[in-house]
């Protein structure tokens, strides 16, 4: 395949898209399999390991990619570069593995976090070698201008890792199984990459010393400033997780890590643009084309801002429905930190193209200072807020730290000589976001959490659990947002066509004739297209607002008249079973404040015996006591027994108070028999059950809870 800048970028971008798709498919499966607490343990260890690997591999991977790509006069230059950095990578991996083993032996990690983390350090010591050389061969392939192979190697690794990790977790190996899956996937990727490298380089040089004139010192000290830069950037990803785990617990860390996983999906386009910026701006910096750099920075930040605001508005509006459906109901507490993280996530995305453009200038000191200030703000806020506010404090401090990045990178850009937000149309973009967010929020609220299964069709199967809002709101929201962006002038139609025609076929070939016809028309480049967009916006927004308002005001009366749900919740009905409302009479039944849910009996519960008159026995059978919710259930007096005669269903309910914990016991009696338990005072109180009541044993409920029957006052 003929290699040029476009095909190289397409290879990198294509692999990044596939990786994002794999993460979107497998991440929720992994989170559901592990559960919030175990996923929190995995997130904490992964955060610490990620910071360690920055120190172990950043200079090596960047160096081999740069120097092996150079055409050098020295004989066997590429072979010697590969061999030199390979041995250096092995040395650094050995040092890191020794550090992990020593930390496990002396219990350092267990002292800071939790002792249960210690055994995992031995697996991480193996993962250091696997991850180090997996990434080393990938960067070598990219330096050899084999980006398509290096990109697909990353895809193979990700898919293999998720399959192995989820499989081992399902078998009960938990966090250890996930890390073992990562080791296996890394080794497979390394072997595949090593085979391709062997076709371009001679592996014999791995066992030979480098020539005396080889510039070892230059290669060793290369990229040391970049290591500091990447380390500072990495702390903004990981330190919040480490501190949250240290100050709180694994469950809250799991919720927070789940929220981070979702918001980081929004970084697909900015991450891809980063790979393009470093190549397209290096030449401009070398030739001091500040005007070109400014134009490129302005356009890229404007496009990123428009897309990120659209995604953030959509995810924020649908968060309460999307998170439980996508990650599982156990991860529902992740909704609040996700909403807090969204503004900072947009800011970080805006800063990504600027980070790379500033880095390409070669003035790493300015880049490090600008990034370091944001990292310090993030670190200090985490120390201040996490101990007091826990997960929400971590989300707020991280969001502020992320949001400060574009501000300080803009300062860095001004120091370097260009203004990245010149003609960025910030006012028009803000108007687009505000107008569309209000309508999209109303549209999302009108559907609430109602699923397709709530509408009745049973043939949908598992797809019936999909909330209606997730299917309807995104396409309508995208259409509305696009029209508003065109109407406000945040983006022009000509720019949209310019972007679409550069997308590889079949998209580009389909759009080109449309673009030519549009350019030939009288509406291209004048105000008529904008006026047409405004008319469409007004009509679409009016329909959405009127329909949504009617749905919210009426509670969707169509569903209220059907057996599929109730409109009592105000938005399409809650479709949640509720216990009957307690009567106003003080003598009526009272319900547990947890909607009829009581915990399973524990070993500490005191069993009670309910003997019958026909066959006295010492066996015990106790039901759990209802939770104390302030109800007015009055136990019988001490030393008295309350006996209930059989109902028409020929069942008898016998209630025996326990002097220790007042446990209520329910046992069936033989047909047509009345069971009486004598009390020490030989007194018996008999109360007949109403003819329309049936008392049954409670069934086990979800998550170890039981549905408790109503308790009748005075019985």
Q: What is the mean pLDDT of residues 641-651?
A: 44
Q: Are strands 597-599 and 705-707 parallel, antiparallel or unpaired?
A: antiparallel
Q: What is the mean pLDDT of residues 333-341?
A: 95
Going by pLDDT thresholds of 50, 70 and 90, the confidence category of residue 115 is confident
Residue 400 has pLDDT above 70, yes or no: yes
Burial of 7 (0-12, 13-18, 19+ CB in 10 A): middle
Specify the pLDDT at position 531.
59
Q: In whole angstroms, give the CA distance from residue 565 to residue 341.
A: 34
Q: Nearest 10 degrees: CA dihedral of 673, 678, 682, 687? A: -50
Going by pLDDT thresholds of 50, 70 and 90, the confidence category of residue 698 is very low
Going by pLDDT thresholds of 50, 70 and 90, the confidence category of residue 390 is very high
Lowest mean pLDDT of 117-121, 488-492, 677-681, name the range. 677-681
List phi, psi (to 5°) of 295: -65, -45
Going by pLDDT thresholds of 50, 70 and 90, the confidence category of residue 568 is very low
Q: Nearest 10 degrees: CA dihedral of 447, 450, 455, 460? A: 120
Residue 257 has pLDDT above 70, yes or no: yes
Q: Six-digit token pair at 418? A: 């260009």
Lowest mean pLDDT of 266-275, 350-359, 539-548, name the range. 539-548
Smallest CA-to-CA distance from 274 within 296, 306, 307 is with 296
Residue 589 has pLDDT above 50, yes or no: no
Lowest mean pLDDT of 113-117, 289-293, 361-365, 498-502, name the range. 498-502
Q: Which residue has the higher pLDDT, 272 or 180?
A: 180
Lowest mean pLDDT of 500-514, 528-542, 688-702, name the range. 688-702
Q: What is the mean pLDDT of residues 194-202?
A: 91
Q: What is the mean pLDDT of residues 322-343?
A: 94
pLDDT digits (tens, 9 = 90+) for 417-460: 888 888 888 899 999 999 899 889 988 888 887 887 777 666 76
Q: What is the mean pLDDT of residues 189-215?
A: 89
Specify the pLDDT at position 456.
67
List phi, psi (to 5°) of 318: -105, 5
Mean pLDDT (the chain) is 75
Specify the pLDDT at position 277.
61
Residue 312 has pLDDT above 60, yes or no: yes
- Outline where DSSP puts E strands in 290-382: none
Residue 65 has pLDDT above 90, yes or no: no
Residue 362 has pLDDT above 90, yes or no: no
Q: Determine the 3-state secondary structure of 659 from DSSP.
A: coil
- Outline where DSSP puts E strands in 570-616: 597-599
Q: In whole angstroms, give the CA distance from residue 655 to residue 657.
A: 7
Lowest mean pLDDT of 216-225, 230-239, 341-350, 452-461, name the range. 452-461
Q: In whole angstroms, give the CA distance from residue 240 to residue 262.
A: 16
Going by pLDDT thresholds of 50, 70 and 90, the confidence category of residue 319 is very high
Packing angle of the helix pair 364-416, 335-360 (nearest 10 deg): 80
CA distances to 80, 158, 313, 383, 597 from 149, rounded to whole Å, are 22, 14, 36, 43, 56
pTM of the model: 0.72
Residue 620 has pLDDT above 60, yes or no: no
Residue 557 has pLDDT above 80, yes or no: no
CA distances to 123, 154, 235 from 118, rounded to whole Å, are 10, 29, 22
Q: What is the mean pLDDT of residues 377-397?
A: 95
Q: In whole angstroms, give the CA distance from residue 638 to residue 656.
A: 10
Specify the pLDDT at position 265.
86
Q: What is the mean pLDDT of residues 313-325?
A: 93
Specify the pLDDT at position 221.
78
pLDDT digits (tens, 9 = 90+) for 25-46: 999 999 999 999 999 999 999 9
Smallest CA-to-CA distance from 393 within 313, 336, 351 is with 336
Specify the pLDDT at position 270.
77
Specify the pLDDT at position 276.
58
Smallest CA-to-CA distance from 408 within 380, 379, 370, 375 is with 370
Residue 705 parent element (H or E): strand 705-707
Going by pLDDT thresholds of 50, 70 and 90, the confidence category of residue 224 is confident
Residue 490 has pLDDT above 80, yes or no: yes
Q: Determine the 3-state secondary structure of 434 from DSSP.
A: helix
Residue 696 has pLDDT above 50, yes or no: no
Q: Six-digit token pair at 19? A: 């990786």
Residue 251 has pLDDT above 60, yes or no: yes
Q: Six-digit token pair at 518? A: 């549009």
Going by pLDDT thresholds of 50, 70 and 90, the confidence category of residue 295 is confident
Percent of the chain with pLDDT over 70: 67
pLDDT digits (tens, 9 = 90+) for 529-538: 555 666 666 6
Find which of 147-161, 298-312, 389-403 is predicted with most confidence, using mean pLDDT. Answer: 389-403
What is the arrangement of strands in the sheet containing 684-686, beginning at the earlier edge strand? 654-655, 641-643, 684-686
CA distances to 68, 150, 222, 294 from 141, rounded to whole Å, are 9, 6, 19, 32
Q: In whole angstroms, give the CA distance from residue 174 to residue 166.
A: 9
Lowest mean pLDDT of 307-311, 482-486, 588-592, 664-668, name the range. 588-592
Q: In whole angstroms, give the CA distance from residue 74 to residue 603.
A: 77
Q: Six-digit token pair at 442? A: 């109303």
């Amino acid at each position: 395949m003929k290699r040029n800048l476009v095909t190289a970028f397409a290879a990198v971008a294509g692999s990044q898209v596939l990786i994002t798709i794999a993460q979107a498919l497998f991440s929720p499966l992994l989170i559901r399999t592990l559960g919030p607490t175990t996923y929190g343990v995995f997130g904490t260890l992964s955060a610490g390991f990620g910071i360690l690997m920055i120190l172990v591999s950043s200079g090596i991977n960047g160096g081999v990619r740069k120097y092996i790509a150079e055409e050098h006069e020295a004989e066997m230059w590429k072979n010697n570069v590969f061999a030199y950095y390979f041995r250096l990578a092995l040395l650094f991996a050995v040092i890191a593995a020794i550090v992990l083993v020593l930390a496990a032996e002396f219990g350092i990690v267990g002292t800071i976090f939790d002792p249960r983390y210690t055994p995992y350090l031995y697996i991480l010591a193996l993962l250091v070698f696997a991850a180090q050389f997996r990434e080393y061969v990938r960067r070598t392939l990219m330096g050899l201008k084999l980006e398509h192979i290096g990109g697909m190697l990353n895809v193979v690794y990700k898919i293999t890792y998720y399959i192995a990790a989820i499989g081992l977790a399902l078998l009960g190996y938990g966090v250890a199984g996930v890390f073992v899956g990562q080791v296996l996937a890394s080794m497979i990727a390394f072997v595949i990459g090593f085979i391709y490298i062997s076709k371009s380089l001679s592996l014999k040089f791995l066992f030979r010393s480098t020539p005396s004139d080889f510039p070892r010192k230059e290669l060793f000290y290369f990229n040391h400033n970049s290591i500091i830069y990447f380390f500072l950037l990495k702390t903004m990803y990981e330190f919040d997780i480490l501190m949250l785990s240290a100050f709180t617990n694994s469950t809250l860390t799991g919720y927070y890590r789940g929220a981070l996983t979702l918001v980081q999906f929004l970084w697909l386009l900015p991450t891809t643009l980063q790979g393009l910026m470093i190549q397209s701006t290096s030449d401009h910096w070398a030739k001091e084309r500040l005007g070109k750099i400014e134009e490129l920075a302005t356009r890229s930040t404007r496009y990123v801002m428009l897309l990120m605001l659209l995604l953030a508005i959509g995810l924020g509006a649908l968060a309460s429905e999307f998170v439980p459906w996508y990650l599982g109901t156990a991860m529902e507490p992740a909704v609040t930190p996700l909403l807090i993280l969204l503004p900072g996530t947009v800011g970080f995305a805006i800063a990504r193209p600027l980070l790379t453009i500033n880095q390409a200038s070669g003035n790493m000191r300015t880049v490090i200072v600008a990034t370091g200030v944001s990292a310090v703000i993030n670190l200090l806020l985490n120390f201040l807020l996490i101990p007091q506010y826990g997960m929400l404090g971590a989300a707020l401090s991280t969001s502020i730290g992320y949001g400060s990045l574009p501000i300080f990178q803009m300062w860095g850009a001004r120091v370097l000589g260009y203004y990245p937000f010149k003609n960025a149309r910030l006012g028009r973009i803000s108007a687009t976001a505000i107008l569309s967010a209000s309508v999209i929020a109303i549209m999302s609220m009108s559907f609430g959490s109602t699923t397709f299964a709530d509408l009745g069709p049973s043939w949908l199967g598992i797809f019936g659990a999909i909330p209606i809002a997730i299917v309807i709101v995104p396409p309508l929201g995208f259409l509305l947002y696009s029209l508003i962006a065109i109407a406000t002038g945040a983006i022009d139609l000509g720019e949209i066509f310019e972007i679409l025609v550069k997308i590889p076929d079949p998209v580009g070939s389909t759009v080109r004739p449309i673009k030519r016809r549009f350019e030939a028309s009288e509406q291209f480049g004048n105000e008529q297209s904008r006026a047409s967009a405004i008319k469409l916006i007004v009509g679409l927004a009016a329909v959405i607002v009127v329909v949504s308002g009617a749905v919210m005001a009426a509670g969707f009366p169509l569903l209220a008249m059907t057996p599929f749900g109730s409109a009592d919740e105000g938005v399409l009905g809650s479709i949640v079973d509720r216990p009957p409302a307690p009567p106003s009479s003080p003598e009526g039944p009272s319900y547990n404040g947890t909607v009829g849910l009581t915990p399973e009996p524990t070993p500490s519960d005191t069993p009670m015996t309910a003997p019958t008159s026909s066959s006295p026995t010492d066996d015990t059978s106790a039901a759990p006591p209802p939770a104390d919710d302030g109800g007015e259930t009055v136990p019988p007096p001490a030393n008295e027994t309350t006996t209930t005669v059989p109902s028409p269903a020929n069942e008898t309910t016998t209630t025996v108070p326990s002097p220790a914990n007042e446990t209520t016991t329910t046992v069936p009696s033989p047909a047509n028999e009345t069971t009486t338990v004598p009390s020490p005072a030989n007194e018996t109180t008999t109360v007949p059950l109403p003819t329309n009541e049936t008392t049954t044993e409670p069934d086990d409920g979800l998550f170890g809870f039981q549905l408790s029957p109503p308790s009748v006052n005075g019985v």
